[in-house]
Amino acid sequence: MKKNPLILDGNLVANRIKEALKDRVDRLVQQGVRPCLATVLVGDDPASATYVRMKGNACKRLGIESKRVVLERSTTTEELIDVIQELNNDSSVHGILLQHPVPHHIDERAAFEAISIEKDVDGVTMLGFAQNAFGQAALPSCTPAAIMAIMDEYKIPMEGKHAVVVGRSPILGKPVSMMLLNRNATVTICHSRTQHLEQLVSQGDIVVAAVGKPNFIQGDWIKPGAVIMDAGYNEGNIGDCDYEACYERASAITPVPGGVGPVTIATLLKHTVDAAEKTSGKQQ
């Protein structure tokens, strides 16, 4: 009889991360430094506005200041970069998060690159990516770091395992591949033009779903006993994996919601506190 898979509870991991931050925030505040995360939202996309509000609420609960900057949809790349530079120069701001996607007329990469590496708490800059690839990132991309935190919490072995990452975005698929490689996994990166995708996924001891398509990864693609890390979050609280079908074959799986998402937000808060400690010269 098949044993039910382990449900990798992201809320549990996120709560442990946030619990560990409370004393660090209190110490900083006692020293006259309140960690501050600035979120920049361009336009009025309702989903993005919801994400920014959630992050602001999470900051408030931990005593982290949340500075919200909302810009008109018509904002130009140059105007956005000017705002980011102002935040770079504001010593009271420790982390900068540009909510993406931005409107199509904006050069998103140029805007990301304007963020100071010391305040790049979401790990979106090319320098941050390079540091991550070398295993030297102080502030790696939050969702990949969340995936690794969950696997560490549940002591999921990575060394020598074959990890198949479905997705190659510069802030998810690529950095998580580097993280897994740095932990001595053998990594296959798949994407929208990969041929025989099902066959490659079926070889994975660890499958990271980061493709942004609901129910894309099918249950019969999954190697029996594989660990599934579903980083997808689509309309209707649906992940990138067909959860019920994949559940039947996995040894461990993240639910959606309640899996990678909460840990991503907790990681963003941790990075903000890390940055506040470092830039204030009071790193614990």
Going from N- to C-terminal start, the domains of the chain cover 32-117, 142-260
More confident residue, 107 or 192: 107
CATH of 142-260, one of 3.30.300.30, 3.40.50.720, 3.30.470.20, 2.40.50.100: 3.40.50.720
- Tokens linked to 114: 């304007």
170-190 confidence digits (pLDDT tens):
999 999 999 999 999 999 999
- In the predicted model, is pLDDT for residue 121 greater than 70? yes
Q: What is the pLDDT of residue 284?
A: 44
Q: Give CA–CA dist 119/105, Å, rounded.
A: 25
Q: Which CATH architecture has domain 32-117?
A: 3-Layer(aba) Sandwich (3.40)
Mean pLDDT of 46-69: 93
Q: What is the pLDDT of residue 137?
A: 96
258-281 confidence digits (pLDDT tens):
999 999 999 999 999 999 999 887
Tokens 């949809």, located at residue? 73
36 touches 7 (CB < 8 A): no
- In the predicted model, is pLDDT for residue 283 greater than 50? no
Active site residues: 55, 99, 122
User: Is the backbone peptide bond immediately before 257 cis, with ω within 30 degrees of 0?
Assistant: yes
Q: Is 54 helix (H, G, I), strand (E, B) or coil?
A: helix
Q: Give CA–CA dist 196/129, Å, rounded.
A: 29
Q: What is the pLDDT of residue 282?
A: 45
* Shared fold status for 32-117 and 142-260: yes
DSSP assignment letter at 222: S
At residue 1 the predicted structure's pLDDT band, cuts being 50, 70 and 90, is: low
161-172 confidence digits (pLDDT tens):
999 999 999 999
